Amino acid sequence: MLSPAIFCMTPESQIKEWFKTINIAGVPLVPQELLNAIYSGPFVTLGKEEFSNSQNANIQKWSAYIKGSVNRQAFFERALDWASKGNIDDYMSIHRNDKNINELKKYFNSVIDWISGVFIDVESEMQGLEWGRLYEEYHKKAYDSKKVSAEICKLYSDPYIKNRKGIFEFILGSSVDTKLLEVRIFDEATKKAVYAAQTAKAEKKGRSNCSHCAIGHDANKEKIWSLSDMDADHVAAWSKGGATSAKNCEMLCKTHNRAKGNR
Ligand SMILES: [Zn+2]
């Protein structure tokens, strides 16, 4: 808990306000409320006027990207989190006696302007993403917002994408890291059915039930793998429009499936 020294540094009015909050709300303070009390001073006062003020007309725009309640300091916390690269406590300590919040506002607005410049549509999944981190990672790259918009539209209508929140970072990273999208995988029934058909054919031919092993020249050429030694593979890669259906499923031995890579 707070040391007596902090009480001595904190104006009485602030301490009163702080305890009033505890008493009225009857719920524990959120971390940012506690930090506001600890580092109370001109900086916090100005910060709250800008970011914790439900009368601020910008809140609506900001809430497209930021989740949480204005009154419970969610926007002030995000502004500080972005500007401090996740080190809110130190940042507030350093700026405690500042008579302005120019730097904080400038950085916050850069992030917001960047998001709304790259992504011209607002989707509900954008709310609460790690925009501060994404801004740091990608803001120096150039994006064509019209192309981005078209790609989002395409990905939103893709039934195989399980994680729509990942679409934004996927696009920012040049649409490479499909792990972000959690593309639906083949279900067990499909795998079993494909395995059975493939294995029956292979046994007839006296070849391996892994098509890649079957065309090889080593001892596995005639090996019949068990279901548990195989993994499902998209024949046509998902990223190239291949469906996650039995027709587009082939079982490969684990080694060959891995060799085909993340598709
Ligand atoms: Zn194989």
Residue-wise pLDDT tens digits, 5-34:
555 556 666 666 666 666 566 677 888 998
Mean pLDDT of 40-67: 96
Percentage above 70 pLDDT, the chain: 89
> What separation in Å is there between the alpha carbon of 244 and the centre of ligand 1?
21
> What separation in Å is there between the alpha carbon of 218 and the centre of ligand 1?
10
Mean pLDDT of 65-92: 96
Pick the more confident residue, 191 or 11: 191
> What separation in Å is there between the alpha carbon of 229 and the centre of ligand 1?
10
Please spell the DSSP secondary structure of the chain, one letter per residue.
Answer: ---HHHHHHS-HHHHHHHHHHHHHH-SPPPHHHHHHHHT-SHHHHHHHHHHS-TT-TTHHHHTTT--S-TTTTHHHHHHHHHHHTT-HHHHHHHHTT-S--HHHHHHHHHHHHHHHHH--S--GGGTT--HHHHHHHHTTS---HHHHHHHHHHHHT-TTB--GGGHHHHHHTTT--GGGGTBPPPPHHHHHHHHHHHHHHHHHHTS-SSHHHHTSSSGGGG----GGGEEEEESS-GGGT--SSGGGEEEEEHHHHHHH---
> What separation in Å is there between the alpha carbon of 159 and the centre of ligand 1?
30
Does the pLDDT of residue 240 top 70, yes or no? Answer: yes
Q: Which of 22-26, 224-228, 251-255 has the lowest mean pLDDT?
A: 22-26
Query: Which residues surround the ion ligand 1 when the cut-off is CB under 5 Å?
Result: 210, 212-213, 253, 256
> What separation in Å is there between the alpha carbon of 255 and the centre of ligand 1?
6
> What separation in Å is there between the alpha carbon of 197 and the centre of ligand 1?
16
